[in-house]
Amino acid sequence: MEFSFSYYIGLAGIMVFTISGATAALEHKEHHHDVFSVFFTGFITAIGGGTLRDITLGNYPVSWVKDENILWAIFVGFLLVILLPKFVTKLRNELFLFDTLGIGIYTVLGTRIALDHGVNAFASALLGMISAIFGGVIRDTLMNEVPFIFRKEIYATACLAGSVLYLILNEWECQANLNLIVSASLIVVIRLIAVRLNLGLPKLKIF
């Protein structure tokens, strides 16, 4: 197995999505969550998008089954939430840190994986977006909340913008790690600005 820069960045994305899901479970006031339910929510948030991507690509066994380091990253993220809940919750609430970093990393890596499987550019961008948002959709559904993609906030659009930038820079033969950082950063910046300024796409009306 190649332990490259992008590989470790991918593990970091797994960990931050685990923290996002587990923290959401801890913060939810309508339901009582024990240790297992907190872990499961973090787990499904971390692997949901990547699993759907792998199934779509026919990439078996799916990534978290064949690579135990992914499970270790999930476990570390879960431990951080359990051992440092106040610190983790403060970061998440003030900076939207974990969701934002997670979607940035997952989008770009998902796009790259799709390209590596010979998928066309348009489908690669969509699979990158799915990799990033589907775990959060499952998380919000479990929490009985409206998923981010159905809210006013710019979410999936930021992912698509990052995917498109990655594809453009890849076509221009930009260095792979630099492309990853720049494209993921674009997603993070768009997301943070959209949340801070309460920006959203125009609402469609049916006449």
Q: Judge contact between 188 and 181, C-beta under 8 A.
A: no
CB distance 41 to 21 below 8 Å = yes
Average pLDDT in the 29-58 region?
A: 86
pLDDT bracket for residue 10 (50, 70, 90): confident
Distance of CA 108 to the CA centre of its chain: 10
- pLDDT tens-place string over residues 74-86: 999 999 888 887 7
Per the prediction, the chain carries an average pLDDT of 84
